[in-house]
Amino acid sequence: MKSKLLLAVAVIALGSVGLAFTAVQQTKPWPVPDKDAKAVNPVKSNAESIAAGKALYTQHCSSCHGKKGLGDGSKAAQLKTQPEDMSQSKLQSQSDGSLFYKISAGRDDMPSFKKKIPDAEDVWSVINYVRTFKK
């Protein structure tokens, strides 16, 4: 009985370490070069741009990031890291240039979209749409 109790405690402890490791992975800094972070969005945020961004977001991003950017897309559970909640200030406070860089370059579970969305204006429109997720 005592060995079963020790085994249960060990399993719980290992599970806690695993959760802590996962949390560390999710908060790994994603540095953006200064010149990219300072890039200004040349696409005016208007109804046309937001509609174009929404269509591209729905096609390329919602399967991981979710329909409303909450990180709850149908593929999110299959990823090593939880997609960020785009409505939170952690993402919304980032510059448009930083978001452009991250969408274009990709990292880990986040693929590069340089080939899937090759037109820079389209990427800027996606960013304009993501800005509508603010809480």
Architecture of domain 31-133: Orthogonal Bundle (1.10)
- Report d(CA 77, CA 60) in Å as an integer: 17
The DSSP symbol for 107 reads B
Mean pLDDT of 23-50: 88
Residues 43/44/47/53 CA torsion (nearest 10 deg): 30
Domain residues of the chain, as ranges?
Answer: 1-30, 31-133
pLDDT tens by residue, 90-99: 999 999 999 9
pLDDT mean across residues, the chain: 87
- Structure tokens, 2: 């005592």
pTM, two decimal places: 0.79
